[in-house]
Homo-oligomer: A and B are copies of this chain.
Amino acid sequence: MLNQSAAMAEEAEVVKNKQVVLKNYATGFVKDSDFIIKTDSTMSLKVPESSSKGVLVKNFYLSCDPYLSFLLQKSDSSLEAQFSRFSLGSTINGFGVAKVVDSRHPKFEKGDLVWGITGWEEYSLIAEPDSLFKIEHTDVPLSHYTGLLGMPGLTAYGGLFEVCNPKKGEKVFVSAASGAVGQLVGQFAKLTGCHVVGSAGSREKCTHGSVLQNGHVLLSFHVWPLASFSVEIAFSISSITQDPVDLLKNKLGFDDAFNYKEEQGLDAALKRYFPEGIDIYFENVGGKMLDAVLLNMRMHGRIAVCGLISQYNLEKPEGLYNVASILFKRLRVEGFAVFDYLHLYPKFLDLVLPQIRAKKITYVEDIAEGLENGPAALVGLFSGRNVGKQVVLVARE
């Protein structure tokens, strides 16, 4: 038997392993050219004996998240407490959905579906897999574990319920409302009985499902629920409007929505949509929007600071001038991160899975097909090119 095992180990299949490798640290906005698609790597589909607790996974979906911007910049150390900086010449990593191909970890076995931090490559060896979540519910699209049922979903849940404590009838404003987190915040707030308005920017000069310059089919997004995963893809390319305002109002159930790029002034827009003021602001963008929101908050309002995506690529951030509103309106402005709420994941699933099954929650994804289109999808996040959660499809199950 020992001999046979040894023979099997020796015979472990070796496959090609396409990878997204960091070529340059980004300066300002991340560019496609900051990455290389490396096609000549290989991977043995066996966890090496030297990796006592490793798992080897086949990646299905990768998640394009704003925080990746920081790990791609040389100068910023803001997030080093939570993440390791990417190294030049190495494969980048991020949240993703994958299947275990081989495991030396007692918690995981071959065939398990997992989500968590993995590599931007076809196969990944994960040396410390303790932070991976095992996927127990597969009657939902697996891609949702990069969004609705993954880090963005738990972020929306923690930020809205733990930070903002919404009450029925309160007025809630969500920026980047068609994004991975925003669309869920709005729906969770609606389920709580709040009045919800979202802002989003329209996708510019871009037709749904069109082939872009870099040749990839950018938009294959879908609306849950769908009969099966394969149907989902077919469906996604055919039917959904790409206008985020229409999407927010007519697909996601927001009470109202506006395109911030079409407004003469943000203060005036907010006064129009919130004549009585805002109780809760779920902040994803920062900059001028935050400054305008401060002027329109109500007494004892809460602002959950989830992201400041408009500021991430600026050399110097924009100034915030209406700080006095925090004092005069006795506001609470609170930064948070999903890491504070990981212990709530089971409770979150208990809330959200029945809502998904009852078709009371819709989730919009923007799926870029193929690992080689990953860099463009990630870059697009910072110009607001995506509508819905930006995902990269690496392989189908």
Q: How far is the CA of A81 from the CA of B298 in the complex (A)?
A: 11
A329 surroundings in chain B (CB, below 8 A): 335
A229 → B minimal CB distance (Å): 35
A387 → B minimal CB distance (Å): 24
Q: How far is the CA of A367 from the CA of B333 in the complex (A)?
A: 37
Which residue of B has the minimal Cβ distance to A324?
B308
- Copies in the assembly, this chain: 2
Looking at the complex, which one of B286, B317, B333 makes contact with A334 (CB distance below 8 Å)?
Answer: B333
| Interface pair B336/A330, CB less than 8 Å apart | yes
| Interface pair A78/B316, CB less than 8 Å apart | no
Report A335-384 residues with CB < 8 Å from chain B CB: 335-337, 340
Which residue of B has the minimal Cβ distance to A334?
B332
Whether A308 contacts B327 in the complex (CB less than 8 A), given A316-B321, A317-B321, comes out as yes
25 contacts between A and B (CB under 8 A): A78-B324, A79-B328, A81-B299, A286-B323, A286-B324, A305-B326, A307-B327, A308-B323, A311-B324, A317-B321, A317-B323, A318-B319, A319-B319, A320-B323, A325-B335, A326-B333, A326-B334, A326-B335, A327-B335, A328-B335, A330-B335, A330-B337, A331-B334, A332-B332, A333-B334
Q: Give 11 A-B pairs besides A308-B327, A327-B335 with Cβ atoms closer than 8 angstroms.
A: A78-B324, A290-B323, A306-B327, A307-B327, A317-B321, A320-B321, A326-B333, A326-B334, A329-B335, A332-B332, A333-B333
